[in-house]
Structure 1
Amino acid sequence: MAVSNITIRAVQALKPGETIWDADHREAVRGFGVRRQRDQATYVLKYRVFGRQRFVTIGPHGAPWTPELARKEAKRLLGVVANGKDPADEKAKKRLQAADPLRAIADQYLRNAKQRLKPRTYSEIERYLLVSWKPLHPVSVFQITRRHISARIADFASAHGAVSAARARTALSSMFNWAIREGLEIAANPVLGTNRPAQPGSRERVLTETELSAIWHACGDDDYGRIVRLLLLTAQRRDEVGSMQWAELDTISGLWTLPGARTKNRREHLIPLVPAALALLPSRRSGRDYLFGDGPRRGGDPHRGFSGWSKSKAALDERIAEALGESLPHWTVHDLRRSASTVMADRLGVLPHIVEAILNHVSGHRAGVAGVYNRARYAAEMREALERWAEHVAALPAQRPGHAGAGPRPDFFQEAAGVHS
C-alpha cells in the first residue's frame, strides 16, 4: 500500500494487488484511493460512519472515471457521510431499485389483479400495461418520472385516441398505487400530476328506428347475430350476453339469472326472457358451458364465451351498408342498450323504476335489502315491458328486404318452439 498523488501515470503503473491512497498534494482527499485487482484498476473511498469503517466503490479506471472525476465523486460521497448517511447503503439501495423495472412490477401487479378483477377488465389492464407502456418496461419504477409518462401519453393519444390514452394512464396509476402499498419505497406515484387526455363526454347516441331495423335485419343466423339481437331485446351488456352460460338459464320459466360475479354492480340480476329472446338461444352443444363461442370441435376454448367482437362487428357494418346503400354513423353495441331503455321509457310508457330494474341499475329505493324484494315484485312488470319492447322491434320495417342478409321469419316473434333444451 502506497500513499501518493493519484495521477493517470500512477494508476497505469499499478501492479496487481497494489493500492494507492491519495496524499501529498493540495487537492488530496482523505480515504480516496485506487487499487488494481488483476488487470482492472478501480477507484474506491474509505470512510467511517457510525463508528464503523466502510468502503464504497466509485468505479473502474477509464471512461468516464479519471483520477480528477473520481476525486470529485469522493468529495461528494464524503459530504453524504457528513450528513449522517452511508454511501454504501445508498448505492446498495440504488442497485435494488434498478432491479425493479416497470415490466417486473407490472407482472407482479397483474398476477394480483387477475384474482380480483373480471376477465374483461383484467384483459384491458393487461393490454395497457404490457403493450401501451412497453417502451418504459426496462426503466426502473424508481426512475420513471412524470416527463416519461407525459411524453408516452401524448404519443399514445396521437396514435390511438384520447380515450385509450386516458385508460392506459389510469392502468399505470393503479399499478403504482398498488406497488406503493406493497412496500416499494417509491416517493410518490409519478402518474399523479400528469395531464389527463381530454375525453369526449358520455355517449348519448340513441339509434333511430331506421338504424335499429337495419341492424336487426342485417344480423345473420350465427352466434354474433343472435348476440346482437339478444342485446337489443334484453337491454343487457355486451359481455353479459356474450358469456351467457347454460347454468344461468331456466328456459321453462323463461328466466335468466346473472350472478353477481358477472354484473357491473356485483348484484345478482334476474332477466325475464320473452319468447322472442328464447327463440334466439342456440342448440346446446356438447361439452360447452357457454351458449356462444367456438366449441371443442372447432378448436375453441369450451370455458369461455364469445370473443370475435371486432371482426364480427365490422362484417355486420358491411352488410348494413350494403342494405342501406350507405354506412351507419358510428355506433356501438352498447347503443342498443341505451336505445332500448330510452324507447321503453319515452315511447312505450314503461315506468322509470321498471326500466332501472331491467338495466340492473341500483338507486334510491332499489338499494339495500328492499332491492331484493323489489326485484321479485317487479318481475312481472319487467316481463311485460320487455314483451312490449319485443313487439315494437318486431314491427320495425325491413330496410330494402333481400339485401341485408337473413332477416327474421314472419312468425319469428310468436315461435317459442325455437327454444332449445
Structure 2
Amino acid sequence: MAGQVRGKDRLSARFVATAPPGEHHDGGGLYLVVSPTGARSWLYRFHHDGKRRFMGLGSFADVTLAQARDLRDEARRVRNAGRNPIDERRAARQAQAGRKTFGEVAGELLAAKAPEWTNSKHAEQWRSALVTGAAALSPLPVEEIDTEAVLAVLRPVWHEKPESASRLRQRIEAVLAYAAAHGMRSGPNPAAWRGHLEHLLAKRVGGEQGHHAALPYAEVPGFVARLRAIDTVSARALEFAILTAARSGEVYGALWPEIDSNARLWVVPAVRMKTRREHRVPLVPRALDILDEMQALRASEYVFRGRRRGRPLSHVAMANVIERMGIAGATPHGFRSAFRDWAGDHTAFPREVAEAALSHIIGNKAEQAYRRGSALEKRRELMTAWAHFLEA
C-alpha cells in the first residue's frame, strides 16, 4: 500500500493524515484505525496469558505518530516483562486519581481543625493563608512539593510582611505534616523551620523563635499614654487587651453577655479560650471606663464593633494601630509578655497568680481547680497593680 514500508515503523506521517478507512499496521502491534467517518485513532494489539488483547493509545488528534510509537514500545517492554500493559496503565491511572493536591489536603486540614478554633476569625485566618497566601501550591500534588516550591511562596513576603509570612509558613508546614500523617507523602517536611528553612531564610526578631515581638515593660506606660490619645475603637480594644493581659482573639470576640459590670468581671467561656477552660478576668476601673465608651457605640453583641454592621473588629485592627503609631518591635500579643515580665521582675506576686492571669494551665488538676477558685481576688490585686503601673 502506498505510504507504507515493510517491517517496523511502516507508516509515514503523510499517509497517516490521509489514510482511507480501515486498519493500517505500523508494525510491532501498532495500528492506525480509520473509521468510515474519517476519525483516526491508535490501537496496540498483543497477546497475554494466551489471549489476544487490544489497547487503545488515543486519537490521532491527541497523539502523533511518533508518540504512538513510543507508547507502543513502552507497552511492549511491559508485556515482554510478563506483565499486562493494560493492567499497568489502569493501576497508574488509579494511583494518579488518588494523588491529592495541596489545595485538596488543605481543605481536609481546615475541616479537621475547625472544632479546635474558638472563633470564626481564626478559621478565616487559616483559610485565607492557605487559599490565598499559598495559592501557588494549591494545584501541585502534595507529595511533589519540595523546598523550592515552599520558598517560592515565602520569599516574596518574608521581609515585606514578616508576621504574615511566618504564620503562612507554619500553616503550610501543618498541611504537609497532615499529608504525611495520612500517608500522602514521605520524607522531611520542606516547610519546617528548625534545621531547615532557618538556614535559607533570614531570621526575624522573635518571629520564628516561637515568641512575639514585645516592648520592654518599662516602655509600656508611655505607649499607653500615646494610645489613649487615639480616639478609635481599635485603640480602645488594644488598651483593653493590655489592661486585661488577654489574647487578641479573646478581645476581638468579646461579647456583651460575657461582661458583668456589677461584679467587675469579664467571663470568657471555655469555647472561646485557647485552653478550653473558662477564664474569669477581673476588670479594673479603666477597663470599665472603656466598656462604658463601647456601650455608647453599641451596635451588636460584640463589645468592639467593626465597620461592618454586626461584625467585630478585623483581626489585624490592633496591629494596625501599633503600625500607625510608628512603634517598632511590638505586637498585640507581645503585651502579654511585657505583663509577665513586669509581674516577675517588678512585683512580689506569686508566679502562679501571674500565670493564672494569662490563663496558662499549670500544676495538676487538683491544683488547677483550687487556683481557679482561690486566685480571683489575688489576680484582681495583680491587675490593679498593673493598671497603676500603666498610669505611671
Change beyond 3 A, Cα 1:203–1:111: closer
Q: Is the 8 A contact 1:176 1:189 kept in 2?
A: no
The reply to whether residue 340 of structure 1 matches residue 339 of structure 2 is: yes
Q: Structure 1 residue 164: deviation in Å?
A: 4.5
Q: Structure 1 residue 171: deviation in Å?
A: 2.2
Please state whether the residue corresponding to 1:56 is helix, strand or coil.
Answer: strand
Q: Please report the TM-score for the alignment, with normalisation by the length of structure 2.
A: 0.78
Specify the alignment match of 2:222 in structure 1: 213
Q: How many residue pairs align between the two structures?
A: 367
Please state whether the residue corresponding to 2:280 is helix, strand or coil.
Answer: strand
Q: Is the 8 A contact 2:353 2:379 kept in 1?
A: yes
Q: Structure 1 residue 330: deviation in Å?
A: 2.8
RCO comparison, higher one (Cα < 8 Å, 6+): 1
Change beyond 3 A, Cα 1:190–1:138: farther
Change beyond 3 A, Cα 1:338–1:226: same
Which of the residues 355, 366, 378 maps onto 1:381? 378
Specify the alignment match of 1:79 in structure 2: 77
Specify the alignment match of 2:31 in structure 1: 33
Specify the alignment match of 1:309 in structure 2: 316
Q: Is the 8 A contact 2:244 2:383 kept in 1?
A: yes
Distance 1:122 1:51 in 2: 59
The reply to whether residue 65 of structure 1 matches residue 74 of structure 2 is: no
Distance 1:383 1:191 in 2: 45
Q: Structure 1 residue 35: deviation in Å?
A: 1.4
Q: Structure 1 residue 337: deviation in Å?
A: 1.7
Q: Structure 1 residue 151: deviation in Å?
A: 4.4
RMSD: 3.5
The reply to whether residue 238 of structure 1 matches residue 287 of structure 2 is: no
The reply to whether residue 110 of structure 1 matches residue 110 of structure 2 is: yes
Q: Structure 1 residue 178: deviation in Å?
A: 4.0
Unaligned runs of 5+ in 2: none
Distance 2:168 2:308 in 1: 32
Q: Is the 8 A contact 2:179 2:185 kept in 1?
A: no
The reply to whether residue 275 of structure 1 matches residue 275 of structure 2 is: no
Change beyond 3 A, Cα 1:210–1:134: closer
Q: Structure 1 residue 49: deviation in Å?
A: 5.3
Partner amino acid for 2:376?
Answer: A
Distance 1:130 1:50 in 2: 50
Change beyond 3 A, Cα 1:12–1:103: same
Q: Is the 8 A contact 2:267 2:278 kept in 1?
A: yes
Change beyond 3 A, Cα 1:178–1:203: closer
| Greater mean deviation of Cα atoms: 383-392 or 80-89 | 80-89
Specify the alignment match of 1:357 in structure 2: 356
Q: Is the 8 A contact 1:173 1:189 kept in 2?
A: no
Specify the alignment match of 1:15 in structure 2: 20
The reply to whether residue 290 of structure 1 matches residue 302 of structure 2 is: yes
Which of the residues 182, 186, 189 maps onto 1:188? 186
Specify the alignment match of 1:370 in structure 2: 367
Change beyond 3 A, Cα 1:115–1:334: closer
Specify the alignment match of 2:138 in structure 1: 137
Distance 2:350 2:175 in 1: 42
Partner amino acid for 1:174?
Answer: A
Unaligned runs of 5+ in 1: 24-28, 321-326, 397-421
Deviations 1:204-249, CA, capped at 9 Å, x for gaps? 6343544532333433343222212212211111121122111212
Q: Is the 8 A contact 1:14 1:35 kept in 2?
A: no
Change beyond 3 A, Cα 1:384–1:50: farther
Change beyond 3 A, Cα 1:149–1:35: same
Query: What fraction of aligned residue pairs are identical, expressed as a percent?
Result: 20
Distance 2:59 2:187 in 1: 35
